[in-house]
Amino acid sequence: MEQQQNSSEETPKSVGLWTKIIGSGFYTGFAPAASGTFGSMAGLVFVLIPNFTLPEVIIPATIVLFYLGGRAAESMEQVYGQDPSEVTVDEIVGMWISLWFVPLTWLNIALAFLIFRVLDILKPYPAGEFDKKSGGWNIMLDDVIAGMYTNIIIQIALRVNLF
């Protein structure tokens, strides 16, 4: 009996196809370098879908992907280790939050992308606190916070006519 447990513990874990597709942000997490940047770009691809950024579309889509992403990130973390680079669904969710209620111009999209990437790397408080912890929800939350900060920065800049 004990021998069976040991052999099953040694068997490598894997994740299902849909978990891998969602968790890796449509496989951007398997980019050879800068997977977070590719994940963020994948989030921007959705902006090209007509009406996707309407609040009644993007907000529910963000909530659904946050939920699915948290579950997928949890499974993928068990296979790839804590906050693995293979998980990029969090970048997609963060990028979408960055664009909530932002007028879509190429300048606004580019600024949202750049600001989000910088904040995702720097992880200002409390994002860094979530990043230190394991678990799918923590993987998601540090990028949610970076997305919220990005959105706030852009909203302020728009209100004071910086661009």
Confidence bin at 132 (pLDDT 50/70/90): confident
Give the global pTM: 0.89
Q: Does the pLDDT at position 99 exceed 50?
A: yes
Spatial separation of the C-alpha atoms in residues 150 and 154, rounded to whole Å: 6
Q: Which of 1-5, 44-48, 116-120 has the lowest mean pLDDT?
A: 1-5
Handedness of CA 7, 87, 25, 75 (dihedral sign): positive
